[in-house]
Amino acid sequence: MQLLLASRGDAALLAERAGTGAELRAKQQGLDIKLAINLQQEWGKVTGRAARFPQAGTLGLTSIINQYPDVIETVQNGLFEAINWAQKNPDNATALGAKYLSLKAPVIKKSLGYTSLEMVSAKDAKEDLEFWYSRLLEQNPKLFGGNLPDSAFYYG
């Protein structure tokens, strides 16, 4: 990103929020930087699957999940509610993000427009996750110990 902003590069592959931050900083410097490719849309085109791919997840120790299923359910429900709320209230989500994430409000607000926020349980996402992991294993069979995660990995 720094090389791009210093006009020493033609392109950069950036995760969202960094991409939006670079775009806004470039504008302040009089540079014209635009989002050229949405990787999720490209993933859908090249795989014939939905235009999305796993980007983040929550993990828990099996012992904790088994001992406190009500807490896990509360956390999952809270995540679903938070995502729905952020999508319906982008201005309020922007204000909270700016307050608690040490990010500037314009970056958050614009980034929300590029971000596909979606909460899917691992169980419901198992097919997509295994497709993703299989592509990674094709590139490097040593990942994940050479095998896909077993069914206990997919909670939900």
What pLDDT is stored for residue 80 in this prediction?
92
Give pLDDT tens digits for 113-131. Answer: 888 888 888 889 999 999 9
Could you tell me if 88 and 142 lie in one domain? yes
Distance CA 114, CA 99 (A): 21
Could you tell me if 94 and 143 lie in one domain? yes
Residue 55 lies in a domain: no
Domain hosting 22: range is: 2-47
Residue 123 lies in a domain: yes
Could you tell me if 66 and 120 lie in one domain? yes
Distance CA 51, CA 41 (A): 5
Residue 93 lies in a domain: yes
Residue 36 lies in a domain: yes
Could you tell me if 76 and 139 lie in one domain? yes
Could you tell me if 76 and 129 lie in one domain? yes
Residue 56 lies in a domain: no
Can you count the helices (H) and strands (E) in the chain?
8, 0
Could you tell me if 39 and 97 lie in one domain? no
Could you tell me if 73 and 146 lie in one domain? yes
Give pLDDT tens digits for 45-82. Answer: 999 999 887 877 888 898 999 999 999 999 999 999 99
Do 149 and 133 touch, CB atoms closer than 8 A?
yes
Could you tell me if 32 and 71 lie in one domain? no
Do 1 and 22 touch, CB atoms closer than 8 A?
yes
Could you tell me if 83 and 131 lie in one domain? yes
Q: Is 31 helix (H, G, I), strand (E, B) or coil?
A: coil
Could you tell me if 126 and 85 lie in one domain? yes
Report how many domains make up the chain.
2
Residue 54 lies in a domain: no
Residue 22 lies in a domain: yes
Residue 11 lies in a domain: yes
Could you tell me if 135 and 72 lie in one domain? yes
Could you tell me if 41 and 96 lie in one domain? no
Give pLDDT tens digits for 79-117. Answer: 999 999 999 999 999 999 999 998 889 889 988 888 888
